[in-house]
Amino acid sequence: MKTTKISRMVVASVALLSLAAFLDGQQPVPATVATGFNSIREDTLRADLTFVASDALEGRMSLENGDAVAIQWIASEFAKAGLEPAAKGSFLQPVELIEYRGDREHSYVALKRAGSEKQWKFPEALGSYHADVDVTADVIFAGFGITAPELHYDDYQGIDAHGKIVMIFDHEPQETDPNSIFNGTGNTRYATGRVKILNAQEHGAVGVLIVAEPNRKHPSNQERVARIGGSETRAVPIPSQALAEDVLHTPAAIISDTAAKEIFRTAGASLSELQAAIDRDLKPQSRALADTQVTLHYRNISAHAGTTYNVAGLLEGSDPKLKAETILFSGHHDHNGISGTDIWHGADDNGSGTVGVVALAHAFAANAARGKRSLLFVVYAAEERGLLGSFYMAAHPLRPLETTRAVLNFDMIGRNETESDQTKGLIDIPADTTNRLNLIGRSYSPDYDRTVVQENNYVGLDLDYRFDRDYALNIFFRSDQFPFVLHNIPAFWWFTGFHPDYHHTTDTADKINYVKMAKILRLAYLTGFQFANEATPPKFIANPGELASSGLGTALPGRAVSGPAWLRAGQHGP
């Protein structure tokens, strides 16, 4: 039976073809989104990134000329794409900074006890502030420094921190326990230094001492940074920068294990015992330290004001009602500059995200069909100096945060992930990462992830969530999506992972995997289109640990957090 045989062969080969096409990510996208989708091209990405990461831009250091060129280039591309200026009639949102250099010789943390004084300087005590600091106060220990009403956990219960310097552990309780209410082995929002310092401030503290957990199963933050080398070890250290105007105004110091032990001597128990006790039953172990007075004394060699810019363009939505809502695409344009003849090109970090946001702006603008919600494209300033541009925008939003439905943040989307000193022993890296994309933030919005997974049928990337279970590398709060996570907005960091060129002069445009980078941006384009159109935008899960331990999975709707300081802090109108 020839025909049957032939038709069977035809059916079989068609099935094979579409399967191959499916595996290749060649499944054709719907015609309504095809123009924009097809406009994302490897040769354009390569050309743009070769410029952005070129010697001429001198590593795009915040407040330096090379970064100013990058800012102008992004604004020019947004204008060419036809975006509307999104910052009061301009593409540039000014971000006022103070740049300063700490004086390590004349800055210290001192302990006064029984009439004598002991001082620690860098690296035993690491602290800086954009103005001179002289604070002396009695010390109280406040566990992990966390107030989490929805977890019924409060390190400040039963102590009075007013006028005191609080000493706290880094990170969060039970971090190696997959069943911990603090999001298993993944980080929660409470684990970051900024949130802890804001919480101490809210409780009336005048200074904060942060010490790595004594029973930690990972390097301390200082040890991790030292592992990176590269820009961290250059002859003249990179200056610090801070927002000129910030809700956070309480000075802090990171102190060594040795200094912490000494300060803690009158506590009646060891730091290690108290961490073990908290980890055991999540009951506070906070207490005043008898005869323990600490001074934070910081001086700067130099300090001056400067202005940098977040670059922001808007593509208005097509629906008369829903266009008031926003989908936000972001990256950062700054990197680590130049030192002598060494240039930190920052091709992957974050030339790739900068060029990526620009490519997405062009793609959405080129597509005749528009999404219902409006699209905001932002490339932030001063991420490398502490997420300064994104924290500024979250505090001074260009569009209302209450109706910002999703954030797609791109920071390092151009490389294959490979082992480096920074990550050795801390994260498992699959053998083949040439087609692999890491997504960070699923625990806080499984809805968001469902849309990405569904759209990935057209693209065919390997999606990876390892970093959502990480407690050693702190990935969750190391890029510009994080300030928006603090405002209960579903926000993912799209990230291809670390490699030995990370924060080294060798992070150059020739090493980028442009095939993968284009696929990531096509996936982001399709996902963004869905977010702009879908009837029910992704929900935010305020307490992912509760889901893990309750077995409810993703069925529980997102809820607002009742009122930690960091959530209320800095919430202004748009």
Q: Which positions lie near Zn ion, rule CB under 5 A?
A: 349-350, 411
Query: Considering the complex, what minimum distance in angstroms separates the CB of residue 170 from Zn ion?
Result: 20
Amino acid at 17: L
Query: Considering the complex, what minimum distance in angstroms separates the CB of residue 349 from Zn ion?
Result: 4
Query: Considering the complex, what minimum distance in angstroms separates the CB of residue 572 from Zn ion?
Result: 26
Nearer of residues 319 and 342 to Zn ion, judged by Cβ: 342
Nearer of residues 260 and 475 to Zn ion, judged by Cβ: 475
Residue written as token pair 């793609």: 363
Task: Please give the helix or strand (H or E) that residue 375 lies within, else none.
Answer: strand 374-380
Nearer of residues 367 and 390 to Zn ion, judged by Cβ: 390
Nearer of residues 64 and 349 to Zn ion, judged by Cβ: 349
Query: Considering the complex, what minimum distance in angstroms separates the CB of residue 273 from Zn ion?
Result: 37
Distances from the Cα of 530 to the Cα of 41, 145, 207, 446, angstroms: 21, 39, 46, 15
DSSP category for residue 74: H
The backbone torsions φ and ψ at residue 117, rounded to the nearest 5 degrees and listed phi first, read -130, 140
Nearer of residues 183 and 231 to Zn ion, judged by Cβ: 231
Nearer of residues 232 and 245 to Zn ion, judged by Cβ: 232
Query: Considering the complex, what minimum distance in angstroms separates the CB of residue 481 from Zn ion?
Result: 11
Query: Considering the complex, what minimum distance in angstroms separates the CB of residue 503 from Zn ion?
Result: 6
Query: Considering the complex, what minimum distance in angstroms separates the CB of residue 207 from Zn ion?
Result: 28
Strands (E), 147-226: 147-148, 153-154, 165-169, 207-211
Nearer of residues 276 and 426 to Zn ion, judged by Cβ: 426
Query: Considering the complex, what minimum distance in angstroms separates the CB of residue 410 from Zn ion?
Result: 9
Nearer of residues 349 and 464 to Zn ion, judged by Cβ: 349
Query: Considering the complex, what minimum distance in angstroms separates the CB of residue 485 from Zn ion?
Result: 16
Query: Considering the complex, what minimum distance in angstroms separates the CB of residue 476 from Zn ion?
Result: 14
Q: Which tokens in the block code for residue 259?
A: 């200094």
DSSP 3-state assignment of 301? strand
Task: Give the C-alpha separation, 4 to 8, whole Å.
Answer: 6
Nearer of residues 213 and 411 to Zn ion, judged by Cβ: 411
Query: Considering the complex, what minimum distance in angstroms separates the CB of residue 497 from Zn ion?
Result: 12
Residue 445: name the closest of 526, 544, 376 by CA.
Answer: 544
Nearer of residues 180 and 481 to Zn ion, judged by Cβ: 481
Nearer of residues 294 and 475 to Zn ion, judged by Cβ: 475
Query: Considering the complex, what minimum distance in angstroms separates the CB of residue 41 from Zn ion?
Result: 24
| Terminal-residue alpha carbon distance, the chain | 72
Nearer of residues 504 and 522 to Zn ion, judged by Cβ: 504
Say if residues 513 and 416 touch (Cβ distance below 8 Å): yes
Residues 6+ apart with CB under 8 A from 216: 170, 171
> What torsion, rounded to 10 degrees, do the Cα atoms 155, 160, 164, 165 define?
-10
Task: Give the C-alpha separation, 71 to 444, whole Å.
Answer: 32
SS (H, E, C) 99-166: EEEECCCCCEEEEEECCEEEEECCCCEECCCCCCEEEEEEEEECCCCCEEHHHCEECCCCCCCCCCEE
96 strand-pairing partners: 307
Q: Crossing angle for the helix pair 42-52 and 514-533, nearest 10 degrees?
A: 100
Distances from the Cα of 211 to the Cα of 193, 471, 548, 551, angstroms: 11, 16, 28, 34
Residues 6+ apart with CB under 8 A from 316: 84, 323, 370, 374
Question: Across the chain, how many H-helices and E-strands are there?
Answer: 15, 22
Residue 62: name the closest of 222, 243, 328 by CA.
Answer: 243
